[in-house]
Structure 1
Amino acid sequence: MTETEGPAHKKDMTRRRAVLAGGAAIIAAGIGTGVVTGASADEADGGSAGRKATGGQREECYRLTSETTEGPYYIDADKIRRDITEGKEGIPMTLRLKVIDSDTCKPVAHAAVDIWHCDALGVYSGYESMSSGGPGGGGTPPSGAPTDAPTGVPTDTPTGPPPTGGPGGGGGGHAEPTDDERYLRGTQLTDKHGYVEFRTVFPGWYQGRCVHIHAKVHVGGKMTDAGYEGGHTCHTGQFFFAESAVLDSAKIAPYSTSTTTRTTLTEDTIYDQSGVTGGLMKLSYRKNHMARGVVGSITMGVDPDGTHDGTDL
């Protein structure tokens, strides 16, 4: 699936600080001692001194977590659930997230954390007919798509600015869903300590983007029968994966069946190379047994009073 979202325009956030992600990753049942990947405190922000957290635990406070484009494949939160797999094949993943106020470093309770990502073969639910993931990278063309290659040589040179928005454009323009599938999408409310946890699968990759997970944080709203409503979006970001972990996943089916050209972390146009504050997760899994499961953790430093819906980048 092509999601050429274009370079994110990063804002100057030096007036605010965020917490270094997660400390030691939480080890889920069946994972055990193994590989840990991700930025350390020194890598993330030069080893700056942090604040003392309650309970004697040390938390390192850094800049506000990077804002990124929403991308074209967001569907408004309507699935309040912890397990978002819906039976999708892939490496089991426990995603443990914390939301804090980047000024005070205090947990943000009752915030709605909304995540979505592609499956092991690069396909987004809700947009399957637009996907280019899967074995061979071709996916399934939409009904009625032409089967013959064009002939002749074009004679006209395109004029005007390139199109923006939608699956082929930048700026995070929204594309309307093409189907009713909603796997690998979900929302959870943070507890009093600012934590949420999701059960999902390790994402795959598709043309033009490195492996990633999208996230939004909503505050000031309330739960209803229809989902989370009201309030505002104070953070729109993406989580990223160390290259070593992605290479390990690529050895395991169904990831290993994909022939889609993969974009690396350093080649990606969205990840800003800033480590944890840019969305780089801490990952933990048992060495040589990644197929049994992965734990990913990160802390998002947000401005609860700000509005960042990811459509203005």
Structure 2
Amino acid sequence: MYFLPPTRISLLNILSSTSSTCVLAPELMEGPYYINNEMIRNNLIEDQAGIRLTLDVAVIDVTTCEPMEDVLVEIWAANATGIYSHGNFPGATLQRNETFLRGGYPTGPDGLAELVTIYPGFYARRTAHVHAMIHMNWDKSENGTFVSSSGSVLHIGQFFFQEEWNDKVYATSPYTENTNKRTYNDEDKTVDDSEDADGNSAFIDLHLAGEDITDGLIGFITVGVNPQASYSIKNKNYLNSTGPSQ
């Protein structure tokens, strides 16, 4: 059974009452680090150090303004030092079979999926962001993964963070060990592409989980989708493969 804590219920109601929730979320680039057929799970952290981020994603049908149940919310992101599982090797053979900070989880009857990850690190030319993909009518494999090519992809996008949160997180360890040149929101073209005239925001609404940022963060975002949409996945890398599929 799917349970929603009282704090989530009240905050979801606040989000649902705003005009920006019933508009399409901006479609953004998939990026080079997507891996097909990842695990169905809501805790993606594994052994990664960093600020714990509990991310609640509400999926809304923009044609009815109603929440969408049993759509799979998939996310993937870099770790605290700006590295993706499988490695940052766009277009090259995958070097490592890793799964950290990747996976997906279905929404409940309230349209909400909760995923636990860490606050992502930055890397060259990219500010802090989380990639997201929404799957409808998805299939589950016997090994507990989902089939990326099943059903339809309703949304491919990215979530961002306000600089005041980036500043606080990146002042803590292990983010201070990131040797990449920091890219800020106003220097990242993808952030510009996420801004539209419909009032939609691709920025996560963040709150402290405790008294201090090291206690973790809770994030909320609403993703408006059209159930008739169908986007194509471009990457040909698969979980447990040693390189791109042929």
**Given the alignment, which residue of 157, 170, 185 partners 1:250?**
170
**1:266 Cα shift?**
1.2
**1:59 Cα shift?**
4.1
**1:127 Cα shift?**
1.5
Does 2:39 match 1:79?
yes
Task: Letter of the 2:195 partner, please give it.
Answer: S
Does 2:20 match 1:58?
no
Answer yes or no: is the 8 Å Cα contact 1:93–1:293 preserved in 2. yes
Give the match's secondary structure for 1:271. Answer: helix
Task: Letter of the 2:152 partner, please give it.
Answer: H
Answer yes or no: is the 8 Å Cα contact 1:93–1:296 preserved in 2. yes
Give deviations 1:72-109, integer Å, cap 9, x for gaps. 00001321111110121001110111111012111111
**Given the alignment, which residue of 105, 108, 133 partners 1:191?**
108
- Please give the root-mean-square deviation of Cα atoms over the aligned residues, in Å: 2.6
- Counterparts of 1:247 and 1:54, CA distance in 2: 29
Give the match's secondary structure for 2:114. Answer: strand
Answer yes or no: is the 8 Å Cα contact 2:28–2:156 preserved in 1. yes
Distance 1:263 1:283, change over 3 A: same
- Counterparts of 2:113 and 2:13, CA distance in 1: 19
Answer yes or no: is the 8 Å Cα contact 1:234–1:309 preserved in 2. no
**Given the alignment, which residue of 103, 127, 130 partners 1:213?**
130
Hey, what does 1:306 align to over in structure 2?
A: 229
Answer yes or no: is the 8 Å Cα contact 1:235–1:309 preserved in 2. no
Distance 1:220 1:208, change over 3 A: same
Give the match's secondary structure for 2:172. Answer: coil
Answer yes or no: is the 8 Å Cα contact 1:271–1:278 preserved in 2. no
Give the match's secondary structure for 2:214. Answer: helix
Distance 1:304 1:54, change over 3 A: same
**1:271 Cα shift?**
1.3
Does 2:200 match 1:240?
no
TM-score, normalised with respect to structure 2: 0.81
Give the match's secondary structure for 2:187. Answer: coil
Hey, what does 1:262 align to over in structure 2?
A: 182
Number of equivalences: 219
Q: State the identity %.
A: 32
- What are the ranges of 5 or more consecutive residues in structure 1 without an aligned counterpart? 1-24, 28-52, 131-166, 168-173
- What are the ranges of 5 or more consecutive residues in structure 2 without an aligned counterpart? 1-6, 236-246
Answer yes or no: is the 8 Å Cα contact 2:22–2:60 preserved in 1. no
**1:285 Cα shift?**
1.4
Return the structure number with greater relative CO, CA threshold 8 A, min gap 6.
1
Give the match's secondary structure for 1:277. Answer: coil
Give the match's secondary structure for 2:185. Answer: coil
Hey, what does 2:142 align to over in structure 1?
A: 225
**Given the alignment, which residue of 183, 200, 211 partners 1:277?**
200
**1:293 Cα shift?**
0.4
Does 2:219 match 1:296?
yes
